[in-house]
Structure 1
Amino acid sequence: MIRLILTVSSFIYAVLQRYAPTNIVLGRIRRRRGLKWGVPAMLLAAPYIVLAYWCSSAIGDGAPGWLNLVILLCLWNALRFVAIGPISVALLIRVRHNEAVALREQARHERHEELVST
């Protein structure tokens, strides 16, 4: 039974990672070329918050209770987009530092090779 649950949850996770729009966007932001878009992507949290507010207002006016799930999903996605901004800045700083260190090492190695060859 536990193996079946693990298999099904792994399958659902893989499908969501591949096809869910927020997972696709966040995955592209976490790549090297996408790190610069982390802070502007924080603005994508606003539509999710507005949709969550609209759904909660509709529930207050008598809409079906399953909209609470939509509210949870919207707030979760908004939280993820708000969090990706600082995370992407930290990752970008780390990547640029590592690139600068590698460039210095390469230049040092090339200077050493010139000295040895002469």
Structure 2
Amino acid sequence: MRAAIGLHNLLQYAPTNLLLRWLRSRRGLKWGIPFMLLGATYLLTAALLATWLQHGGPSWLNLLVALGIWNGLKFLAFGPISLIRLGVIRLRESRQRKQSSSAHLTV
């Protein structure tokens, strides 16, 4: 159990996880759709590496193929999620602005 917790904590500092953490922030949500291109790039790279493997490439490339697929899917899935989260946040901010402006008018 401790090993799993340690591995989870270590993976929080992986470059793609740091980038996704920034993308989940209020400032980063607007970049969700453009970063789907990064996901597509990861998947394309994984496909090219898999082709190389099929034609006699070194077997350690399997790790890079799996990593490319995993990271690609993370970024591709986050694009639509970021749009939904951004819409919810903007709606909430709009409601707060309306409430604060109506409170100033009634006082």
TM-score, with length taken from structure 2: 0.91
Number of the residue aligned with 2:2: 7
Query: In the TM superposition, what is the alpha-carbon distance from 1:76 to its structure 2 partner?
Result: 1.0
8 Å contact kept, 2:40–2:76: no
Query: In the TM superposition, what is the alpha-carbon distance from 1:41 to its structure 2 partner?
Result: 0.4
Structure number with greater Rg is 1
Q: Give identity over the alignment, percent.
A: 38
Structure 1 gaps of 5+ residues are 1-5, 114-118
Question: CA–CA distance in 2 between the matches of 1:45 and 1:32?
Answer: 21
Number of the residue aligned with 2:27: 33
Question: CA–CA distance in 1 between the matches of 2:35 and 2:7?
Answer: 25
Structure 1 runs, 4 residues or longer, greater than 3 Å off: none
Number of the residue aligned with 1:91: 85
Question: CA–CA distance in 1 between the matches of 2:23 and 2:53?
Answer: 34
Question: CA–CA distance in 2 between the matches of 1:94 and 1:46?
Answer: 26
> How many aligned residue pairs are there?
107
Q: CA RMSD in A?
A: 1.3
After superposition, residues 42-57 of structure 1 pair within 5 angstroms as 42-57=36-51
Among candidates 87, 97, 104, match of residue 103 of structure 1: 97
- 1:32-84 CA distances to partner (integer Å, 9 max, x unpaired)? 01011000000102321222122212211222333222211111111111111
Query: In the TM superposition, what is the alpha-carbon distance from 1:31 to its structure 2 partner?
Result: 0.3
Q: Does 82-91 or 9-18 show the bigger shift?
A: 9-18
* Partner secondary structure for residue 39 of structure 1: coil
Question: CA–CA distance in 2 between the matches of 1:73 and 1:14?
Answer: 18
Question: CA–CA distance in 2 between the matches of 1:55 and 1:44?
Answer: 16
